Structure 1
Amino acid sequence: GDEPAEKPDPRSTPIDAPAGLRPAPPPPAASLRNRGDRACSSAMRQRQEWVGDWVRSNDTLVRALPILVGGASLLAVLLNRAVSGIAAVSDASSSQSRADILTLALSVTDILAGLVWLSIRPKTISPVVPRGVDCKPVDADVSSSALRELLWTWDSLTAATCCKSLVVVYGGNCKLQIGVAAASPEDGNAVNVDAQKFMQGSLYKSAMESKKQSYLANLALYPGRTELPFLPANTQALILQPIGDKGIAVIGGDTIRGFTNLDQAWIGMIADKLDATLSKS
């Protein structure tokens, strides 16, 4: 009689099986290694963040740690000297005495380092409230599209940086003065920007000749601040950003060194955008 057909092995998958029923191929070894590397780096990053947080929250203890280590080492040497029965007077021919002298020197160095760490602390820099009045004068010749661009620039700077004052001088005219301005001693109103006088100053000429952004991180240290009577007297930081070949943006901040490197690069790109807009208006 006919032999019974051989039954297919249920563990094997036919070649023409639907794609959804085919077993997934095992992940390659490189993928597994990448997952392991990512997991390892994530764990190391979390550990570093934990250590950093602990050090910040225990700043005084960390600064005093060398004093504690040096004092403990100094006490251990003295106790060892007293308990071991070695003469209190050091002997240059004794190896124990030479080791004790080196240990004492290292202990004193640790104590001095701890004292230095405790005496030198980073100064906390906080924002200040600009002394002046709010203003928003706009040049009458500015088109509606250019005005929208200028106001967008102001909103972006105030939202993302420490900017509190913005002055845009372009084509020999002040296109926009917005934010906090210096108050006039006569009537208390905002001091308007004299574009022609400002353009004759060294700050403007230096920035336009170099065609590079000028960042005055601590404005109080620069004598050229007298060329900026329209800014609040307590403006902490200043950026002079050329806008093409025809203008400049004066950006005042409320924090010393408040503009980061990313802020400066971003402001440079905004200036290119403003130049393209203002040149058409």
Structure 2
Amino acid sequence: MEAGNLLGFIPLNQPPQRLVRSPRFSAFPRTVTVTLTVNASLSSQGENRYKGPRPGREWIADWVSNNDDLVRSLPIYVGGLSLLAVLFNRTVSGIAPVADASSSQSRADLLTLGLAVTNILNGLVWLSIRPKSISLVNPNGVECQRIASHLPDFVISELLWAWNSLSDVTCCRSLVIVYDGKCILQTGFAAASLSNGSDAVVVDTNKLIEGSLYLGVLKSALQSYLANLSLYPGKSQLPFLPSNTQAVILQPLGDKGMAIIGGDTIRGFTSDDQVWITLIGEKLDATLTKVI
């Protein structure tokens, strides 16, 4: 008998699939269709076109981001040209090549040479220090989907809706929901069991709810975002997540539970995602309160 049956979970034959990410409002085709129809109608008539202010573009920021190597090397070019210009000016002006402290021209040249060398050194620093590139990773684990068997069908449907929504439009790859001291949902990627590599690690709710992460989130009643999970010692309290989970959101569900959302990218959850997850948490709490 599988571990999922022993714990009261319903094993599903089909593992959850990673959906193609689409715009946030793709779940409302009716609204989009109406909007496109209206816009097409207005465009065909050539009237009532929007003439108000439009969002501005940061041209300088876009140019810098698209020409990163050139911008980092620019101080070296400026400093080198300044150095050559000072030497050329001193050569053609007939001034003695030896610096004379009593000469204002020599003092100005020395100051210019110092600035040119500073530019060159600054360019070398910019080239040697680069921000670490951030990319998504493939979770090291197995796919699973376990749902508590005692839940009504409408609650199961809402739990699966939450999972599909999160995995569709965010970097979410794992979702665990603990409510009233029980794990009612574990889906997505999970850590592989040491005894059987094809099975997912079962969530030990007793150990989880005694940990500082769980207690801290419930006490504050606020969402906790671990943007880079590898930097947090509390990672050891989430052994059921894949070992290379990059980011985690701990979303309280009222005062009786918590949703644990694992992502595949460092700082992959945007501020809009966090607000949206908070609203989903409130909706799940309102539904679960009715049956648990």
Relative to the length of structure 2, the TM-score reads: 0.78
* Moved >4 Å (runs of 4+): none
Structure 1 residue identity aligned to 2:153: S
Q: Which is further off, 252-261 or 240-249?
A: 252-261
1:265 counterpart (265, 271, 275) = 275
Gaps of 5+ in 1: 1-34
Gaps of 5+ in 2: 1-50
Task: Provide the rounded CA distance (Å) in 1 between the counterparts of 2:203 and 2:267.
Answer: 25
Q: Which residue of 2 aligns with 1:6?
A: none
Task: Provide the rounded CA distance (Å) in 2 between the counterparts of 1:120 and 1:223.
Answer: 28
Q: Which residue of 2 aligns with 1:206?
A: 216
Q: CA deviation at 1:273?
A: 0.7
Structure 2 residue identity aligned to 1:201: G
Q: Does 2:226 correspond to 1:216?
A: yes
Q: CA deviation at 1:235?
A: 0.9
Structure 1 residue identity aligned to 2:164: D
Q: Does 2:245 correspond to 1:228?
A: no
Q: Give per-residue Cα distances to partners, 1:113-134, cap 9 Å, x unaligned.
A: 1111111111111111111111
Structure 2 residue identity aligned to 1:257: R
Task: Provide the rounded CA distance (Å) in 2 between the counterparts of 1:227 and 1:192.
Answer: 13
1:102 counterpart (92, 98, 111) = 111
Q: Give per-residue Cα distances to partners, 1:123-155, cap 9 Å, x unaligned.
A: 111111111111111011212111111111111
Q: Give per-residue Cα distances to partners, 1:19-67, cap 9 Å, x unaligned.
A: xxxxxxxxxxxxxxxx6x84xx77xx35x34x44433332211111111
Q: How does 1:218-257 map to 2 (within 5 A)?
A: 218-257=228-267
Q: Which residue of 2 aligns with 1:190?
A: 200
Q: CA deviation at 1:112?
A: 1.2
Q: Which residue of 1 aligns with 2:121?
A: 112
Q: Which residue of 2 aligns with 1:24?
A: none
Structure 2 residue identity aligned to 1:245: D
Count of residues in Structure 1 that have an aligned counterpart in Structure 2: 241
> Pairwise CA RMSD of aligned residues?
1.7
2:77 counterpart (68, 72, 75) = 68
Q: Which residue of 1 aligns with 2:33?
A: none
Task: Provide the rounded CA distance (Å) in 2 between the counterparts of 1:229 and 1:61.
Answer: 44
Could you say which structure has the larger radius of gyration? 1
Structure 2 residue identity aligned to 1:175: I
Q: Does 2:90 correspond to 1:90?
A: no
Q: Which residue of 1 aligns with 2:27?
A: none
**Which secondary structure state, in structure 1, belongs to the residue aligned with residue 90 of structure 2?**
helix
Q: Give per-residue Cα distances to partners, 1:158-201, cap 9 Å, x unaligned.
A: 11111100000011111110000111111221111121221111
Which is bigger in relative contact order (C-alpha 8 A, separation at least 6)? 2
Relative to the length of structure 1, the TM-score reads: 0.81
Task: Provide the rounded CA distance (Å) in 2 between the counterparts of 1:95 and 1:142.
Answer: 88
Task: Provide the rounded CA distance (Å) in 1 between the counterparts of 2:211 and 2:64.
Answer: 47
Q: Which residue of 1 aligns with 2:160?
A: 151
Q: Does 2:133 correspond to 1:124?
A: yes
Q: How does 1:41-60 map to 2 (within 5 A)?
A: 45=56, 48-49=58-59, 51-60=60-69
